[in-house]
A and B are shown apart, each in its own frame.
Chain A
C-alpha cells in the first residue's frame, strides 16, 4: 500500500470537507497513479464534484493532506494545481466559443509562459502539435461555436495536453456523445495512458468508460463505499454501490382506463432548438422526455411553460389553447414548472422557506391590496407539512436546507397552485438517494390524483421508476416513444446514444 502512495501522482489522505454544517466529504483516501484511468462514480450529491474541486484547488479541504507528484501541498489553488499538471475538463468544456480552435488550444500555454504578444505562428504550432498527438483533424481556424459537441470535447482535451497535463479530469465526459464518438474517445484515452497521462472520469453513468479504466472509486454521501480494479465492476454493481439499494423502485401503477386527454402539444417548433414536437398527456399520466445533453429537452420543457417562445405549434390544456411564450399565461392555464437548476432558477435562496412557497399564492391571499398574512402562512406551512419538508424553522433561509428538502420546497410552491400539468426538469438532480426515492413517490402520488406530469431527465432509472411513457429526443426531434413498463434500462440507453 505504501508503495502505491509513493508513486502516486495524486495522493489524498483522509480528506474531509465541510460546508456550513454539511459534510460533503468524510475522510476520503484517493490515489491516482501516472498513466492510470480512474472512474470516480457516485450519484449527484455524493461528493464527487467536491473531491474534484479539492484536487484542482478550487476549494480547500477542511482536513487531510494532499500530495501532487510526490510533493505535499498544504495550500492549493487553481494556479498551483494547473502548474502541477492537473487539468479539468468541465461538462461545458469552458471553451471560448467566439475564438478559433487554435486560439482555444493554445491560449492557456501562451498565458502561462507570460507571452506579452500574441503570436499567430506559435499558436498554430502548439495547436497542431496537440491535435496530432491524439490523431484527430480539426480545422484550426474554425470558430469553436460552430463545432459539434464531440469535437469541442476534443479541443478541450487538446488544450489540456498543450498545457502539459499530467492528469486530465473529465466531468461527465459521455453525456453528450453518441456511441461512435464514445468509442473514439476511448481510443484517445488509451493513447494518453500510454504516454503516462492519468485520467479521472467523473460520472454517474460509467458503463461507457469502464473498459478503459484501471480502477473504480465509488462515493456515496461523502464516503468512499467501494474501490477496486475496474474489472470487478459492472453496471449493476456500480448502481448498487452508488445507490446503496439493490431492489429497483416500484414501477408506477397504470393510468386509469379512459383517462382524458389533458394536454396536447402539436407541431411545436423553435428554429435551432427543437422541431415538430407532438405529444399528448392524459390525466394522471407521467410522461418522460429524455435525450442526450443538448438534444433540446430543456428547451421543450421551457417552451411548455412559456419561458421559450416557439416559432410554431400549439399547446392546449383541457382543449383550451395556451398562449405561447408567456409564463403567466402558462401558469394561468395551471401548468407548473420546476426548473433544473434550483439554485439560480428555482429558489430565492436567501429568502425564507415560507416565502419561497408563499410567492406562488400571493394573489389568492390578497384582498383590497393587502395580504392576508395568516392565511398565506398557514397554507404554505400546510404544504411544507404535506411534502414532509424537514425544516426546524420555516423562517430560515431556504439555502439552509438539503438538496432534497429544497426540491420539495420548489414542488410545494407549484402544488399550492393546484396545477393540472406539472413539468419537472431533472426532479432529483443534486438530491441524496433517500430523498430521491421519496420524490419519485411524490410524483407517483400526484399522478394518482389526476395531475399530468412531464418528467425531463437523463437519469434512466428515474424515468423507469416514474414514467408511463418515455419520449426520446435527438437533435431537437422526438425519435422514439416507448412504453415505460416494457422498456429496459439498457434498451433505453442504446436508443439514447445510437
Chain B
C-alpha cells in the first residue's frame, strides 16, 4: 500500500526480471534480424497483433488473482464476436452510410459486451454457487460457448461488415493503432481496479486465503461473480478486435490464444494459486512474447515448433516461480 520504493526494491521485484527478459528478447531479435525486426512495418504490425491476446491475458489475470483460471476466454471472445457479426450482417451492409452503420456497430458492440458479461456470470455462478473447480467449470463452459457460436453460424465465417467495423481493429488514432490504445486503457483500468478499489483488494485477499476471506465477512460469492464477469467482458473486447482485424467472425478463431493467455499471465508473475499479480508484469510478459513470436516468425520457425516452445516456456516459468516461492517459504508446503 505504501508508495515509497527505493532502487533496491525495484530491482528485487519479480517484474524487474521481466523487464530484463523483454529487453533481452528485443535486443536478441534486433541482432538476429536487424533490418526486418526493427523495420517500421514490423513494429507497427506487432502493435496491431498483440492487443487481442494481451487483453485475453488480462482476463486470465483477473481470474488467476483469485486462485482460479478462466479457460473459456477464447470461447467467450468468439461467441461475442459471432453475435456482433450476426447483428452487423443482419441489419447493415457495406453500402450503408457511415453514420447509420455506426449505430448498428454500437448495438453490436453492446450486445457482444453483454454476452461477455452473461458468460462470465455463468462461469462465476458455477464456481461460487455450485462450487465447481474453476478449471473444470470454464473448460466446460468454454466448449458450450463455442458450441453456441458454431450453432449460430453453422461453423463458417460470418462476413460482409460495413467499413466502420474496421475502426476497432485496423484504424490508427494520432498514428497509434486503435487496438493498442484499447489495450493500454484496459491495462490501466485493471491496474487501478486491482490496486485502488475495495473490489480489487478483496480479489487479492480472496486469492491469498479464501477461507480467511469468508471469516473476514467478505461476500466471496459476489467477488467471484464480479471477477468472472470482468474476465468475460475483457474477453468479448478481445473478440471484437479479432473480428475487426479479420473482417469476419468464426467459432474457432484464435484457438492458440488460450495457452498463450495462460502463459503470459504466469510469465507476468501472476501467482496461479492466487493472491499476487501485477498488471505491469503482464504487460512486460506480453511484450516479451510478441517480440519472441515475431522474431521466430522472421527466422521462419514453424507454427508447430512455436506451440512446443510456448508449452515448454510455460512449464519452465512455473517451475522457476514455484521453486522461488518454496525457497522463500522454507519448508512450509503450499497451503492450496
Residues of A in contact with B (beta carbons under 8 Å apart): 19-20, 59, 307, 327-328, 330-331, 337, 339, 344-352, 354-355, 358-360, 362-363, 365-366, 369-371, 373, 376-377, 395, 413
Contact = CB atoms under 8 A, between A and B. Distances in A.
A345 B212 contact: yes
Nearest to B330: A20
Contacts of A352: 1
A304 to B, nearest CB: 13
B216 A413 contact: yes
Q: Name the 7 nearest CB pairs between A and B, nearest first.
A: A331-B217, A362-B198, A348-B208, A366-B198, A327-B217, A348-B209, A345-B215
A360 B1 contact: no
Interface in B250-301: 275-276
Contact of B219 (A328, A345, A355): A328
B216 A360 contact: yes
Interface string B193-210: 000111001101100110
B217 A328 contact: yes
Given A327-B217, A377-B1, A371 B198 contact: yes
Contacts of B275: 348, 350-351
Given A358-B1, A395-B1, A371 B215 contact: no
Contacts of B202: 359, 362
Contacts of A377: 1-2
Question: Which of A19, A330, A339, A351 has most B Cβ within 10 Å?
Answer: A351
Contacts of B6: none
Contacts of B212: 344-348
B335 interface: yes
A373 B196 contact: yes
Interface in B201-257: 201-202, 204-205, 208-209, 211-219
A364 to B, nearest CB: 9
A371 B197 contact: yes
A373 B195 CA distance: 10
B201 A371 contact: yes
Interface string B308-336: 00000000000000000000001100010
Contacts of B196: 370-371, 373
A307 B215 CA distance: 8
B218 A359 contact: yes
A189 B210 CA distance: 42
Contacts of A373: 1, 196
A377 B209 CA distance: 21
A366 B201 CA distance: 11
B211 A345 contact: yes
Contacts of B276: 350
A395 B9 CA distance: 13
A347 B217 contact: no
B130 to A, nearest CB: 17
Nearest to B276: A350
Nearest to B218: A359
Given A351-B275, A370-B192, 20 more contacts: A19-B330, A20-B330, A307-B215, A327-B215, A328-B217, A328-B219, A330-B217, A331-B217, A346-B212, A349-B208, A351-B204, A354-B1, A355-B201, A358-B201, A359-B201, A366-B197, A369-B197, A371-B197, A371-B198, A395-B2
Contacts of A344: 209, 211-212, 335
A328 B205 CA distance: 16
A483 B335 CA distance: 42
24 contacts: A20-B330, A307-B214, A327-B215, A328-B219, A337-B215, A339-B215, A347-B212, A348-B205, A348-B208, A348-B212, A349-B209, A350-B276, A352-B1, A354-B1, A355-B204, A358-B201, A359-B201, A359-B205, A359-B216, A362-B202, A366-B198, A370-B196, A371-B201, A377-B1
